[in-house]
Chain A
């Protein structure tokens, strides 16, 4: 059995390695599947299993739930699904830890400190990630308000709760027979997960999802220590480091630190400032927008969360096709935190069959804005705000942004003038070269597309 686990661990590493580049990525998924299959079959065959009915019933039920989820889930709901699967993974780890704790009670001497330390870590991380991910899912699905929920002394209350949970955990490590304490410990971990996520706003979701990913991995890893299983340690560590890297990338892209994301509810202080003086802006119709686009030689489209909400990706594809056929160079500028999870925009645009070599990262495309005729911003706001570069008093000062304001003409599709998530006014909208196109992203883009072919025929 041990040899099968080693093979399976190697396949997981290969799987992630092949994930580096789009051409080999699907091979990576295949390697991961084989690795997982080997691990499961190896465990079933070599694990001295006696309760087959329970195991097989659960495997069947899990597959019966998993397959429809994978095929029915629309691509716009991918962030929610990811949060949900973090919750499932963490729940599994936490429950195994719990079962192990109670089973150990019947075998004196089994629950040594060496066993209890990882077991407590596993359940603590598992339970808090479970409820935390459910909260994240609720916010992404907009069942819960995606604005931060804050109250007085929030950080103090959270810190105290967490300290109590840790203290109970330490006590359990020292006196593992204290079975009454365990449910309280688990309850506190569950509660802490809720409290940790509710003050976090929608725009910080990419970081939080990545962080929860990391926690879920670490909790599987702790299970590996508790069960003395190296395969679990390897797989958990891979997941943990992946989540960590992604959350670091997300934090850098917003010029914020971990602690700031977790403890500094965004968008509260600035809310008052946004109701300042009225400023002038220019708006335009779909017809005007179409003729400007038609006259352009190069167009850069900047998508944001608004695109996902309006499900406008297929209409944008029509616009892309139409413009490309006229010999206009069309590219997409992707900010690392655009959308609600890492890589969100790439998946949506790929779903609409837009070739991935047209999806350009921030650092690469920023140099092209000054030569670009039209920058079309669709449902993105804060990631285009020039205040991040120039205004030291702005809350987003220092955040890397897309230099949309350097394009010759800027067009912004937006539902209204209301400020974005962070509650910050965007100077971009008041520039002389900026045209505001008011409307739903999907409806407006299809109107532009409708205006275009008529001109082509003429």
Chain B
């Protein structure tokens, strides 16, 4: 059986290759929205922050640090997704008549 670290490293390796392949194809036109999208996705660290703040027996220090971490990550998630969508709405083709 694989231990957790080995599983983790496999996941990391595969995800990196998938990431490299998928992102290489993104048109340069969309590099800015791409960056704000990946930014929102990397705010997945909110999961870790919630776990550490919310678990039973968390110390006050954990709660305070976790509170700031959740706030920062949720700010990223919310503003990241919304602003990406706002940007993408602006990309129009010519057919759209003025």
Contacts and interface: CB of A to CB of B under 8 A. Distances in A.
Given A71-B86, A102-B62, A95 B69 contact: yes
Chain A interface residue number, banded: 35 or more
Interface string A43-57: 110011111101101
Interface stretch (A20-28, A293-301, A373-381, A443-451): A20-28
Interface string B42-54: 1111111111111
Given A29-B84, A89-B42, A59 B74 contact: yes
Contacts of A52: 54
Interface of A: 9, 12-13, 15-17, 19-22, 25-26, 28-29, 32-33, 35-36, 39-40, 43-44, 47-52, 54-55, 57-59, 61-63, 65-67, 69-71, 73, 75, 78, 81-82, 85-86, 88-89, 91-93, 95-96, 98-100, 102-103, 106, 114, 209-210, 213, 216-217, 219-221, 223-225, 227-246, 249, 321, 334, 336, 341-344, 346-347, 350-351, 353, 355-359, 361
A71 B22 CA distance: 29
Q: Max chain B CB contacts within 10 Å: which of A28, A59, A62?
A: A62
A100 B65 CA distance: 10
A210 to B, nearest CB: 7
19 contacts: A13-B18, A25-B30, A25-B88, A29-B85, A39-B47, A47-B54, A78-B87, A81-B83, A89-B76, A99-B66, A231-B44, A232-B45, A238-B23, A238-B42, A245-B23, A342-B28, A342-B34, A343-B29, A355-B92
Given A16-B23, A229-B47, A343-B33, A59 B39 contact: no
B30 A92 contact: no
Given A44-B50, A103-B52, A235-B44, A347 B37 contact: no
B32 A66 contact: no
B37 A28 contact: yes
Query: Is chain B's interface secondary structure helix, strand, loop, or mixed overall?
Result: helix
A89 B81 contact: no
Contact of A86 (B39, B69, B82): B39
Contacts of A40: 46-47, 50
Interface residues of B, number: 83
A347 B36 CA distance: 12
Contacts of A336: 28
A223 B48 contact: yes
Contacts, number: 375
A81 B47 CA distance: 23
B31 A342 contact: yes
Contacts of A44: 50, 54
A291 to B, nearest CB: 26
Contacts of B84: 29
Contacts of B76: 66, 85, 88-89, 92
Contacts of B37: 15-16, 19, 28-29, 32
What 5 A-B pairs are tightest by C-beta distance, nearest first? A62-B74, A66-B78, A343-B31, A241-B19, A70-B82
Contacts of B78: 62-63, 65-67, 70
B79 A96 contact: no
Contacts of B54: 44, 47-52, 54-55
Contact of A235 (B33, B42, B88): B42
A386 B32 CA distance: 27
Contacts of A51: 53-55, 58, 63
A127 to B, nearest CB: 13
Contact of B12 (A55, A221, A361): A221
Given A69-B75, A234-B15, A342-B32, A245 B20 contact: yes
Contacts of B83: 69-70, 73, 78, 81
A65 B71 contact: yes
Given A82-B36, A343-B33, A36 B44 contact: yes
Nearest to A33: B81
Contacts of B15: 9, 233-234, 237-238, 241
A99 B65 contact: yes
Given A50-B56, A95-B72, 18 more contacts: A22-B30, A26-B85, A36-B43, A48-B55, A55-B54, A63-B78, A85-B79, A92-B49, A93-B48, A95-B68, A99-B52, A220-B43, A235-B41, A241-B23, A245-B20, A342-B28, A343-B35, A355-B93
